[in-house]
Structure 1
Amino acid sequence: MSESQDPDALAATAARTLAELTGVERHDIALTLGSGWGKAADVIGETVAVVPAEEVPGFHGSAVPGHSGTLRSIRLANGAHALIIGARTHLYEGRGVRAVVHGVRTAAAAGARVMILTNGAGGIDPAFGAGEAVLISDHINLTATSPLEGAHFVDLTDLYAPRLREIARNVAPEIAEGVYVQLPGPHYETPAEIHYLRAIGGQIVGMSTGLEAIAARAAGMEVLGLSLVTNPAAGMGDPLSHEEVLAAGRAAEPRLAELLSRIVARL
């Protein structure tokens, strides 16, 4: 994505291309499915079309194992349409912040008013066990950047929409809530860094979601965030590996898919 391109214009072009390729003029909600959450795309409704991400302007094939690299249009039971973004761009890929939030902006341009962001995360709070789903109540952005450019001031007081979190709690009363910390990655954190994050109020940590949530809010969407705790964070368990993240995601997929399906059905 060229830095000279207007990001909103590119998102509008991507949305038009998506409508042409899927045959769906408007998508009502959008979901970005991170590690462990991908199976939800198979159970929330009827797949209308699957589009390789690179066929849509501004998107790229996934650079991370565990992400599908596609955009999928799904018809829900109530007749609404959901856009599944399986081609998340991470900040550490070096494509810039605009690329990181392009999926969110495209979803907004395609008509989505609700953005569901999911991820796999390390557990900072020892109360959160591996394999547990956590509802994001707030976040701390430690990427040292923002998706907003210029004098664009956006209130983030209720960034993770209370209405949507209430729906999630009604579906799963047992679900824990926590504060998510986004760091740029791609390396995992040191034990000293995890100690710092815990001291400032972080409870789960990962390399996505926060910047996307800000862009979604700026675009006028309601945001729901969900994390799968794939492992205890650095210094709180065994040494970390991406294979461990993928294995935890595979083990939790059926349960997470059922949870997300029930939430989407109530939107």
Structure 2
Amino acid sequence: MLEIQQVSKTYRKKRLFGEHETIEAVKNMSFTLKQGVCLAIVGESGSGKTTLGKLIIGMEKPDSGIIQFDHINLATTCKEEKKQLQKNIQIVFQDCHSAVNPKMKIRDIIAEPMNCHLQLTKQQQLEKIKELLVQVGLSERDAQKYPHQLSGGQLQRVTIARAIATDPKLIILDESINSLDILVQISILKLLKKLQQERGFSYLFITHDLHAVSLFADEVAVVDQGEVVEFLHDVSQIPCMTHPISQRLLASRLPINRQEISSLQGEQVS
């Protein structure tokens, strides 16, 4: 569904005395993402994974290479195709507080993409908002609240409801659970997995957390200095990764008591 072919992106950063530094954020990157699959893009800070997400959603343009979604080249889209791509590719950011307008009610936040991409009556829209809130584990009454009245985990569920409102095919999760505590992270990952099973979403899961990857993703690509240095089609093989960067990410994992998490969640985490 998503195909990245030899994509590169370079930035020029101005230094002292008028000099410029060239930064290769993404370098000849290639991979594919199939329908209904969660692919984790894992790397250290500055590895290029966030830039990749920006390229896919159109916030940045590649210097070279091809990004195709459903056989549509993102660089040569017409106005109609671009609108369709915006409907089918949604993103959930790390900081849920800065991702929403604090002056808007929750119902209006979720309605934003629907206003752009769906032809619904006011009543149909309100019904859909209620359904989405329930689907992400919130209450219909939350529609009347403002962001400051919700916890971080609840507000992240709101941003997920907004992301799935247009029934997209691909959702980019850009460090979207990192600011939450471990138990909220687990509940959000379970929610996302459930939604994937129900709706057939594909996920591009951008993170540095290999624990979360092992719980949630199907495949994993390790990136370093803008390049894919290791790719696994089976996340169960994560402990067997061999690249030095992969080994460093493995070594940086914090120990987690899975029995304690399972007890608090009321079910076994596998």
TM-score scaled by length of structure 2: 0.27
Compare the two structures and name the one with the higher helix fraction: 2
Larger radius of gyration: 2
TM-score (normalizing by structure 1): 0.27
